[in-house]
Amino acid sequence: MKKLLLSLCLCSALLLTGCFQIIEEINLRADGSGTATLTINLSQSRSKVASLMLLDSVNGYKVPSQQKIRQEMAEAAAFLKQSPGISNVKSSTDFNNYIATISFGFRNVANISNLSKTILNRMKIRSSDQSSYSFNTSLLQFKRNYQHITSARTEYAKLKSEDKAIFKDATYTAIYRFEQQVASVSNRQAAISRSGKAVMLRSNILALIDGKTNISNTVQLKK
């Protein structure tokens, strides 16, 4: 019997090893307005996610149904629509590939400060993202402030090893696109595109949880 239990425990650890992507895209106009898109891509783990979604709960966590996820997305979209300066909210869920996307327009980039975290929270995804965004139209300077929350590390440490495996290869990607050329970026990990008008910063989610990576960035545009 012990052998069976052992096999089952180890198999469940194998089953739960997976990865996902979180992608944040912001297209910013010169006047500070623009569009933002947040994508969560579980496609790489989709067969595992599909198996898990057949269950009611895994490792003590409730597994949401497709209907529940759609409802959460609709609620997140409704919340956004009511948020000041936010317009043209669209959301989509692809249950073949397990990709969820939410996009919207904003009057000023400052309107989206903390939105990422709120949306993730509403989708029942824990986030350590303490974001604030600002754009100084006269200095043509875009600022993305990020502050690591130490409790994220503590909470992560409390997880069982099989649950931790979920974050092993998870990545976070932030892309900021501008109408003007980028003069400089403060974050060394950030890359500037060939056109010189976009900045990308990639990080492993574990590094964010650990506080080893800081995704704060100041992008100075050419005048």
Partner 1 sequence: MKKTFLLTALLLGTGLAYAQELMTRIPAQANAVATFRTGHFFDLISVDEFNGSVLGKAAFSKSANDPSKPKTVSDLGVDLAADAFYFYTTTDSVGYHCVWLPLKDQAKFESLLGKGNIQRQASSSRLTAADSSTVITWNEKQALVVSPGLRDDFFAIKANAARHGLKILDYQPPVIVDSVSVTDVAATPPDSADLVITVPPPIAADAAKAATEADKAQQKADDLYNNYTKSYAEQENLKKGLALKWAETEASRLFTANGPGITGDPSFSRSLDRDAVASVWVRNLSHVLAPAFSMLGFRNPAASRSSLSGFKTVTGQLYFDNDQIRLVTAMELDKTLADDYKRIYSRKLNKKFLNYVDSDKALGFFSYAVNTEAYLDVFPGLMKRTVPLYLFGEEAEVADLAADIFSTVVDEKSIGKVIKGDALFVVNDIRQREVKYKSYEYEGDDFDAEPVEKTKTEPSPDFLFMFSSDDHRIFDRLLAMGEKKGVLQREGELFKVIKGSDAVDLYLTIRNNIVFVGSSQAQMQDVAKGTIRLKTSARHRSLLSRNAMSFYFGPKTLSQKLATDAWLRDETVLRFNEVLKGMGNVYLRSGGVRKNTVTAELVAENGGSEKNALAYLFRLISAAAK
Give the interface with partner 1 as residue ranges (CB under 8 A): 1-4, 6-7, 10, 13-14, 17, 21, 23, 25, 39, 41, 43-44, 46-48, 50-51, 97, 99, 173, 175, 177, 193-195, 197-200
CB of 55 to partner 1, least distance (A): 14
CB of 3 to partner 1, least distance (A): 6
**Nearer residue to partner 1 within complex by CB, 6 or 74:** 6
**Nearer residue to partner 1 within complex by CB, 12 or 88:** 12
Measure the CA–CA gap between 182 and 157, rounded to whole angstroms. Answer: 39
**Nearer residue to partner 1 within complex by CB, 2 or 158:** 2
**Nearer residue to partner 1 within complex by CB, 188 or 194:** 194
8, 81, 23: which is closest to 205 by C-alpha? Answer: 23
CB of 176 to partner 1, least distance (A): 9
CB of 61 to partner 1, least distance (A): 20
Measure the CA–CA gap between 137 and 32, rounded to whole angstroms. Answer: 7
CB of 82 to partner 1, least distance (A): 27
CB of 9 to partner 1, least distance (A): 9
CB of 54 to partner 1, least distance (A): 10
Measure the CA–CA gap between 128 and 46, rounded to whole angstroms. Answer: 24
- Residue 170 identity (one-letter amino acid): A
**Nearer residue to partner 1 within complex by CB, 46 or 153:** 46
Strand 21-28 to strand 171-178: parallel, antiparallel, or no bridges (unpaired)? parallel
208, 200, 18, 27: which is closest to 126 by C-alpha? Answer: 208
Burial 102-126 (b: 16+ CB within 10 A, else e): bbbbbebbebbbebbbbbbebbeee
144, 126, 174: which is closest to 23 by C-alpha? Answer: 174
Please state the φ and ψ torsions of residue 39, each to the nearest 5 degrees.
Answer: -125, 135
For the chain, give percent helix, strand, coil, nearest 5. Answer: 35, 35, 30
**Nearer residue to partner 1 within complex by CB, 94 or 155:** 94
Measure the CA–CA gap between 70 and 100, rounded to whole angstroms. Answer: 9
**Nearer residue to partner 1 within complex by CB, 98 or 146:** 98
